[in-house]
Amino acid sequence: MLILPLSASAGENSKFSDRFEFSGFGRIIAGYLDEDAASYEGYENKLSVSEQSLIAVQTEFAATETLTIAAQLLAHSSEERQSGFEWFYLNYEPTKNWRFKAGKLRTPFFRYSDVIDVGFAYPWISAPQQVYSGYLFSNYEGASATYRFNHAGVNVDVEAYYGVYDETVFYTGQEVDVDVDQIVGYIVQTSFDNFHARASVISSDDFDVDLPEFKQFEQTLRVAGFERNADSLSFDGSAVGYQASLGYDNLQYFTSAEWVRITSDVLIIPDIDSYYVTAGYNFYPFQAHATFSRSDASYDILTNEIPKGVNPQLDALSFGYDSVISNLQLDSLDSFTLGLRWDFRPSMALKTEVTFLKGEDGERAFFEIEDEANFDRDATLYQVAFEWVF
């Protein structure tokens, strides 16, 4: 009499567990920069494995045939990146054409945004910093809608998303609170035979950055009557990003390019034009690739309207404004990367990579500079990585 209920219960548990799907990925990366006077992406003139190494587990639960719950938990070795849930959202697909998501989502601005942590999914060890920099936040809380269709053999995805962002980011080595009340984005991507193309735009309005020392100085300028200079230091503004990419892959040869432009009236975000061009050759189980990347950064700086030589108080304000402007960081950088990948198992790969870096004189150029007088903005980054998925 007890056997039948127990068997039924076991069957029900089995059916429930079948609704879960688990997967994950990881990467261990060792890097070395041949430069004593600066660091790049955290790498210094010593071997380090703590800058980009990570491991993540993700799961999907099929609540119904059309509704799933997805989550990804990530642990990162870098001190400048928080571990925790990268995403946690509901996924609803009422038809084969429509998909809706709601929750904590990855910001899908770049071509590789969805898989940027999954090093196994792309050729490089480090995606080009000039394009995949930290000027835009990687996550948001909100919703997205995607419509997919095929016309004359061309696959087309159109996506729109909306949300907010309220978290901390690292800026010049310190944690900074960033609050964005409105994020709106649009994406169109197509594929045909071996070709693919993508374009996206993102707009971030009501953008507020909590840097108390800047806000205090801004208020001091307003009280003194220098409204235009005070406005130029305001951290309440907006940012707009544009992205486009093209690619071709016939399983033996591949080439792609991605371009990004970012404009903003928020002081810590300069106007940036950046791109990369990459090409590679597959000779299984190996892959060789080469990438050239460039970024040009600039600020639209307002002329200092605070007079000097009138009195000590105005001199202090004027020199203080000059100091703020002179400390704004610019990241103009050229790089050339050569890489080799070995897929020694279906789900495991070893990568080696060397990147030659040449930054613009007088700029930060994505480096953290320790010795300005002895650094010419030229350096070479060596990396080795073990990538896997499961």
- Can you give the pTM of this predicted structure? 0.90
- Please tell me the distance from the alpha carbon of residue 237 to that of residue 269, in angstroms, as a whole number: 11
Q: What is the pLDDT of residues 233-256, one digit of tens each?
A: 777 778 899 999 999 999 999 999
- Please tell me the distance from the alpha carbon of residue 271 to that of residue 264, in angstroms, as a whole number: 6
Q: What is the pLDDT of residues 125-184, one digit of tens each?
A: 999 999 998 667 789 999 999 999 999 999 999 999 999 998 776 655 567 778 888 999
Tell me what pLDDT residue 328 has: 83
Tell me what pLDDT residue 221 has: 87
- Please tell me the distance from the alpha carbon of residue 131 to that of residue 113, in angstroms, as a whole number: 11
- Going along the chain from its start, the domains and CATH numbers come out as 20-212+240-300+323-389 (2.40.160.10)
Q: How far is CA 188 from the centre of its chain?
A: 19
Q: What is the pLDDT of residues 275-306, one digit of tens each?
A: 999 999 999 999 999 999 999 999 887 788 89
- Answer positive or negative: Cα dihedral of 113, 117, 119, 121: negative
Q: pLDDT over 70 for what percent of the chain? A: 94
> How confident is the model over 20-32, as a mean pLDDT?
96
Tell me what pLDDT residue 219 has: 86
Q: In the chain, count H helices and then E strands.
A: 4, 18
Tell me what pLDDT residue 137 has: 78
Does residue 124 carry a pLDDT above 70?
Answer: yes
- Please tell me the distance from the alpha carbon of residue 54 to that of residue 279, in angstroms, as a whole number: 27
The first and second tokens of residue 330, run together, are 């610019």
β-bridge mates for residue 141, sequence order: 104, 164
- Please tell me the distance from the alpha carbon of residue 321 to that of residue 309, in angstroms, as a whole number: 15
Tell me what pLDDT residue 284 has: 94
- Please tell me the distance from the alpha carbon of residue 185 to that of residue 109, in angstroms, as a whole number: 8
Instruction: Give the closest residue to 183 by CA, choosing from 228, 130, 138, 121.
Output: 138
The residue whose two tokens read 């944690």 is 175
Higher pLDDT, 23 or 327: 23
Supply the Cα-derived Rg of the chain in whole angstroms.
Answer: 24
